[in-house]
Structure 1
Amino acid sequence: MRITEKDNNIILEEMESFDIEQILECGQCFHFEQLDVKEYVIVAKRHLLHIKQINDQIIFFQTSMETFHTVWRPYFDLDRNYNEIKSWLITNEKTLLNRSAELEKAITEYGGIRILNQDFFETLISFIISQNKQIPHIKQIINTISIKYGDLAGEICGKSYYHFPTLLQLAKVTENELRLCKTGFRAPYIVDACEKLLKEIVLESRLLHADSNQTMEELMLIKGVGIKVASCVALFSLSQRNVFPIDVWVKRIMEKIYFEKETKKEEIASLAKQLYGSFGGYAQQYLFYYARENNIKVDER
């Protein structure tokens, strides 16, 4: 990639495997707003970003070189070679089952996805909220909580944006107040998550050095956190790229490609581990976005 600075904007060029729309719209994050085609405002890592992609040029508006390198470069996982990952997934899967046409198509169509390195606390609460919710509704709830209980992040194009509240800020919010933010049955789960994290402030740093099995076990001690939510938190905020979250879309596409019938999630998870190994999270993102965008159903042959 080539990085230049002009008028306090960072311009990124010659960046392979980067499509800002695919990155943000693939279900891994919720604290952003689309302004125009491939133009977004993102609130993350206690920073506010106005970003726009024009073909292979990516503009980070009003961003210093220091902020780009310390915040956005790791956030967007820019130093990882995604071409190597995609090549491995396609060729390795062919070796195992010789049925990679669908995965290869998913990677070809949505190869601009990069897995974000997100804030642990915000990711945990976001995916607790995500249960049985559509993405627009999840985004709305995250935004409401941020406006009510978070700090002002700044203003872009005349609109104010707010950081997601910190643990200490959200821990002061009652269950009833959370319900007023449309969290519904998830409100007590959020309260429980805050209480547990307050008791163990170092949980995030400890899990960063744990294996995925231990991470899953510990996260699922929080009320309302099951395998899917724990997998998403591990993948999107703890750099555990081997985990393979299974939601309805991933279940459908895996059944369509490999099983041709209704299949238990445990069987799907076992096969995914065999096929994708340490790259399971990447495969999951390509398959999820492909299945959702194409409305894949298991009875499609």
Structure 2
Amino acid sequence: MIEFALRTTGRQIDLDSTLDCGQTFRWSKDGEWWKGVVRDTVLFLKENSDGIIVRSSSESLLGRDVYSGIESYLGLEDDLQMIRSTLEKRLRAFDLKVRAVSEKALSEASGLRILRQDSFEMVVEYILSTRNSIPMIRWMSDRLSELFPENRIDFCGESYYAFPSLSQLKNISEETLINLKIGFRVPWLLKLFSKIEKESYFSGLSTLTVEEKLEELTKHDGIGYKVGSCVILFSYGELSAFPVDIWISRVMKDLFAFSGSTKKLMRFGMDSFSPYGGYYQEALFRYYRTHKLGRDFK
């Protein structure tokens, strides 16, 4: 086990907001600790007065040493003060209700950061997210990982499972996926696993523009603008992305009296709150979900 203190002085972060806002699925809170699996590394995180105590099962994280890897993963390079200031300027174009609700949402999410997660894992998990709840996405991701005993990681007296590689998933059967209650998403995943030769395909998309990333990702079955936007935001760090799910559709109707297709709503969010639409979206998503707002806007 590797344990170290990550100082976050001047770089505000709230682990509760960051890890429980719907952008990631394999984390859970146990007392003071957040425990999760980031691709093939088990991490325990706990906040203290100076920053974050990190416990890691590995010396590396997503291709970096664990020290720089955790800073990148947690989005600590983002200037939250500048992001907040920019969004407040964008909001001046809207009426008092929009500004008041947005101010509350941004304040309650003041320490929320956009994670930089593994692109292949994000593609699979966000395909699973289609018409699904966060607890079920977590359950499916964990059960999918547990299919491979060789991926077991024993850490601090508990057992965890790394997320499977593409080469492992290429050998998975339709029956096995059906037994995981993946349902109508099964053909999408099987086609993805067979069509993509190497995981480097996904990392290679990092050099493309936002529009090019979306165009490439949406060529695959099961990846529409919602899934594609989530992947480019939470994996590639394209902070202008504005994913639209049922909650954000409700927000658009409630706050902006605006409705339409996923693409239309996505474009509105990206154009109105560039270059930080993703941070605004997450703040609104968390606020409406936490306070159970907008349920009358179907």
TM-score w.r.t. the length of structure 1 is: 0.88
2: CA distance, partners of 1:17 / 1:26: 16
Name the counterpart of 1:246.
Answer: 244
Residues 46 and 163 in structure 1, CA contact (< 8 A), matched pair in contact too: yes
Residues 150 and 165 in structure 1, CA contact (< 8 A), matched pair in contact too: no
Residues 41 and 56 in structure 2, CA contact (< 8 A), matched pair in contact too: no
Residues 50 and 156 in structure 1, CA contact (< 8 A), matched pair in contact too: no
- 1:161 maps to 2:155: no
Identify the match of residue 9 of structure 2 among 7, 10, 14: 14
Name the counterpart of 1:4.
Answer: none
Name the counterpart of 2:223.
Answer: 225
Identify the match of residue 288 of structure 1 among 282, 285, 290: 285
Shift in alpha-carbon separation, 1:170–1:265, aligned structure 2, 3 A: closer
> How much has 1:210 moved relative to structure 2?
1.2
> How much has 1:221 moved relative to structure 2?
1.7
Name the counterpart of 1:28.
Answer: 23
1: CA distance, partners of 2:291 / 2:167: 41
Q: Given residue 17 of structure 2, which amino acid in structure 1 is its aligned partner? A: Q
> How much has 1:274 moved relative to structure 2?
2.7
2: CA distance, partners of 1:211 / 1:135: 29
2: CA distance, partners of 1:105 / 1:40: 25
Look up the SS of the partner of 2:207 in the other structure.
coil
> How much has 1:69 moved relative to structure 2?
2.6
Deviations 1:96-118 (A, max 9, x none): 55642211111101121111111
Shift in alpha-carbon separation, 1:150–1:214, aligned structure 2, 3 A: farther
Aligned length: 291
- 1:48 maps to 2:45: no
Q: Given residue 131 of structure 1, which amino acid in structure 2 is its aligned partner? A: T
Shift in alpha-carbon separation, 1:299–1:262, aligned structure 2, 3 A: farther
Residues 150 and 166 in structure 1, CA contact (< 8 A), matched pair in contact too: no
Identify the match of residue 80 of structure 1 among 69, 78, 90: 78
Deviations 1:125-179 (A, max 9, x none): 0001111111111101101111112643533442101100011111111111111
Name the counterpart of 2:276.
Answer: 279
Look up the SS of the partner of 1:52 in the other structure.
strand
Look up the SS of the partner of 1:136 in the other structure.
helix
> How much has 1:268 moved relative to structure 2?
2.7
Identify the match of residue 212 of structure 2 among 208, 211, 214: 214
2: CA distance, partners of 1:53 / 1:205: 31
Residues 15 and 56 in structure 1, CA contact (< 8 A), matched pair in contact too: no
Name the counterpart of 2:69.
Answer: 71
> How much has 1:8 moved relative to structure 2?
3.7
Shift in alpha-carbon separation, 1:251–1:56, aligned structure 2, 3 A: farther
Name the counterpart of 1:148.
Answer: 147
Shift in alpha-carbon separation, 1:297–1:263, aligned structure 2, 3 A: farther
Look up the SS of the partner of 1:10 in the other structure.
strand
Look up the SS of the partner of 2:122 in the other structure.
helix
1: CA distance, partners of 2:66 / 2:102: 32
Unaligned runs of 5+ in 2: none
User: Taking every aligned residue pair, what percent have the same amino acid on both sides?
Assistant: 29
RMSD between aligned residues: 2.4
